[in-house]
A and B are shown apart, each in its own frame.
Chain A
Amino acid sequence: MDQKFKKPATKRPVELMAPAGGFDSMMAAIQGGADSIYFGVEQLNMRARASMNFTLDDLEEVARICNENGVRSYLTLNTIIYEHDLSIMRRVVDRVKESGITAIIASDQAVIAYAFRVGVEVHISTQVNITNAETVRFYSTFADVMVLSRELSMVQMKTICDTIKNENITGPSGELVEVEVFAHGALCMAVSGKCYLSLHTQNSSANRGACVQNCRRKYKVIDIEDGHELEIDNEYIMSPEDLCTIDFLDQLLDTGVRVLKIEGRGKGPEYVKTVAQCYREAIDSYFDGTYTKEKGEQWKERMTEVYNRGFWGGYYLGQEMGKWTDQHGSKAKTRKVFLGNGRRYFKNIQVAEFQLETQKVKVGDKLLITGPTTGVVETVVEELHVNDEGKKEMAVKGDTFSIKLDTQIRPSDKLYKLVDAETVEA
């Protein structure tokens, strides 16, 4: 079937796009209310170093799950493409077409041109760094959806959105080009992927999806000539805080952007579900007229529970200076501690059984279950049955225990305890 002019189903006025680093995150995105997911395969995506990437053979399964759930699927093929990549790139695009994946997200002209030629829908990725309507017009030959540069202010975004409408800039489908922006997640000091820092230090090119994130470390600035060290009050001089737009989402949507993208293919399923849920609720409240600044702050607070480096509004609010994080890694208020794996689920009595491989579980503990089919489930232990010894207050390492749970779990599921980030001993 020729995809070139096919409009995917389930269009909402604003599309929420969530990251999927694996099947568990994909299910988490769906549970969180995302309209679409984006993911990478093999080595030609910006998370090539990730231990978990989908493979070409997963495409049919991804497409099937997404179609069943009315969610669109986008494959990222957005690294720079060397000569020796051209053949695999074509194979990936061909498989996208065969498998029913909705579109590819690309930046290299070789990919954009080939996908267009064979009739696969293309979205222009953030690596192209679009900052004006003329560039939108240029790429509109090939693509219906384009991500804008993260350094634009909302005033600039609105100008571009208005120009698209006023000058009727349409994509291959004949519809107006849809503008996509990042709404939430990590920002880096460079244009995503357009960075040579880890290439210089470790031969590891971000442009090939192999960023080693050395910008996230502490640095001192020393004048080599006289040894003078600059006095700076924050040593994380290259690591910005995460973008968060939920507390001014009404302004962002007023610009006319059509797709909101959540960053985080390298993050856990609980992050994906929580962030997607918050933005889903925020978008819906914008359209039913109940969005308020106070609600925005509440959603923001909810998102501090999962991975974050602190939040700021990026350059969208027109700030001249970036906000740098003041610590390494996440500022999440909770962290997850691995406990063990799922064993069985007794549907008729709604009981889940787990094998506790480490730590302890007590009544009152908050548990997190993640898995490729299960997605993300959170529960609080109200009653604990340990081994064959009946009801107990606590299970210890090596025990098999069961709890009441109204969601099916599976042997492929991982079990975690959610603890306060400050807790040393779980």
Chain B
Amino acid sequence: MSKITITHQRNKCIGCNYCVEFAPDRWVMSKRDGKATLVGGVNKKGFYTTKVSPIELDENVKAAEACPVKIIKVKEF
């Protein structure tokens, strides 16, 4: 079964909320700094990454496409 990796370059987030709109189970808006947070994301040098099941692919692709600053990458392998 394929795996999906989602990566988020968080410091560039402008807090538009689109990712939460499209994939509400995977993204939340932080009340601390107004930026999106990738649920389950592990931080490595500012890039937050998590592996998810293929069930989440479509909605997170939509989130990545909607992101105005293009800081969400969804990879399937």
Q: Beyond A43-B14, A210-B16, is A49–B69 a contact (Cβ under 8 Å)?
A: yes
* Interface membership of A205, Cβ < 8 A: yes
Q: Is the CB of A44 within 8 A of B69?
A: no
Q: Is the CB of A87 within 8 A of B31?
A: yes
Q: Is the CB of B32 within 8 A of A203?
A: no
Smallest Cβ-Cβ distance to A55: which chain B residue: B11
Q: Is the CB of A203 within 8 A of B16?
A: yes
How many of B's residues come within 8 Å of A, CB to CB? 17
Q: Is the CB of A84 within 8 A of B30?
A: yes
Cβ contact of B15, chosen from A85, A91, A203, cutoff 8 A: A85
Which residues in A have their C-beta under 8 angstroms from that of B13? 43
Interface string of B11-23 (1 = CB under 8 A from A): 0011111100000
The CB with the most chain A CB atoms within 10 A, among B17, B18, B33, B66, is that of B33
Q: Is the CB of B67 within 8 A of A84?
A: no
CA distance in complex: A203, B18 (Å): 9
CA distance in complex: A44, B35 (Å): 10
Q: Is the CB of B16 within 8 A of A88?
A: no
* Interface membership of A159, Cβ < 8 A: no
* Interface membership of B34, Cβ < 8 A: yes
Interface string of B37-71 (1 = CB under 8 A from A): 00000000000000000000000000000111100
Q: Is the CB of B33 within 8 A of A88?
A: yes
Q: Is the CB of B34 within 8 A of A208?
A: no
Which residues in B have their C-beta under 8 angstroms from that of A87? 31-32, 34
Smallest Cβ-Cβ distance to B30: which chain A residue: A84
* Interface membership of B29, Cβ < 8 A: yes
Which residues in B have their C-beta under 8 angstroms from that of A88? 15, 32-34
Cβ contact of B66, chosen from A49, A89, A203, cutoff 8 A: A203
Which residues in B have their C-beta under 8 angstroms from that of A212? 68
* Interface membership of A204, Cβ < 8 A: yes
Q: Is the CB of A84 within 8 A of B29?
A: yes
* Interface membership of A202, Cβ < 8 A: yes
CA distance in complex: A316, B43 (Å): 51
Q: Beyond A203-B67, A203-B68, A205-B68, is A82–B17 a contact (Cβ under 8 Å)?
A: yes
Report the interface size class on chain A.
Answer: 20 to 34
* Interface membership of A209, Cβ < 8 A: yes
* Interface membership of A48, Cβ < 8 A: yes
Cβ contact of A208, chosen from B16, B29, B35, cutoff 8 A: B16
* Distance (whole angstroms) from the CB of B15 to the closest CB of chain A: 5
Interface string of A65-97 (1 = CB under 8 A from B): 000000000000000001011111101000000
Q: Is the CB of B18 within 8 A of A208?
A: no
Which residues in B have their C-beta under 8 angstroms from that of A210? 14, 16, 68-69
* Distance (whole angstroms) from the CB of B22 to the closest CB of chain A: 11
The CB with the most chain A CB atoms within 10 A, among B13, B30, B33, B68, is that of B68
Q: Beyond A84-B29, A203-B67, A205-B68, is A49–B14 a contact (Cβ under 8 Å)?
A: yes
Smallest Cβ-Cβ distance to A82: which chain B residue: B17
* Distance (whole angstroms) from the CB of B42 to the closest CB of chain A: 22
Smallest Cβ-Cβ distance to B16: which chain A residue: A208
Which residues in A have their C-beta under 8 angstroms from that of B15? 43-44, 82, 84-85, 88, 208
* Distance (whole angstroms) from the CB of A233 to the closest CB of chain B: 33
Q: Is the CB of B68 within 8 A of A204?
A: yes
CA distance in complex: A165, B53 (Å): 66
* Distance (whole angstroms) from the CB of A114 to the closest CB of chain B: 14
Smallest Cβ-Cβ distance to A209: which chain B residue: B14
Q: Is the CB of A48 within 8 A of B14?
A: yes
Known A-B contacts: A84-B34, A203-B67. Give 8 more (CB < 8 A).
A42-B34, A43-B13, A82-B29, A85-B15, A85-B34, A210-B14, A210-B16, A210-B68
- Ordered by A's residue number, 15 sampled pairs between the chains whose C-beta atoms are within 8 Å are A42-B34, A43-B14, A43-B35, A44-B34, A49-B69, A82-B34, A84-B15, A87-B31, A87-B32, A88-B33, A88-B34, A89-B34, A203-B16, A205-B16, A208-B14
